[in-house]
Amino acid sequence: MDFKNIRFTKEHEWVRVEGDEATIGITDFAAGELGDIVYVELPKVGAAVKATQSMGTIEAVKTVADLFAPVSGSVSAVNPELEQHPDLVNQDPFGNGWFVRVTLRDRKEFDALMDHAAYQSMIGK
């Protein structure tokens, strides 16, 4: 897996930017800590999201976590597969288990996030 163009948050979200569109998910580490994901609640397409604020929830059997927006912008797409197959988050967190796409408002917010090495060191790997 090539993490060169991916940035990370302290809350374990990852972001990949293509053009002005950011794809957002949670890391394999976060998915592993939560355990089997059973349900995700995502923002609606068109919703405005603000960096560091909650934009959804991720539920495992006995715990629930907020999904924080790593960057500000408006939601351009949500992963339609997750409603029926939340297990994709566990199986393929950096691929088919993505959560939402956001049209970036400020690229600097993305640039300020952790790179892969910094994230790995944060989780003690």
Contacting positions for other proteins (CB under 8 A): 36, 38-39, 59-64, 86-87
> What is the distance between the alpha carbons of residues 110 and 120, in angstroms, rounded to a whole number?
18
Shortest spacing between CB 20 and other proteins, in angstroms: 30
Rg (CA), the chain: 13
Least distance (Å) between residue 40 CB and other proteins? 11
The torsion angles phi and psi of 111, rounded to 5 degrees, stand at -60, -25
Residue 47 CB, nearest approach to other proteins (Å): 14
Helix, strand, coil percentages for the chain (3-state, nearest 5): 20, 35, 40
Beta carbon nearer to other proteins, 11 or 87: 87
Nearer to other proteins, 36 or 81 (CB): 36
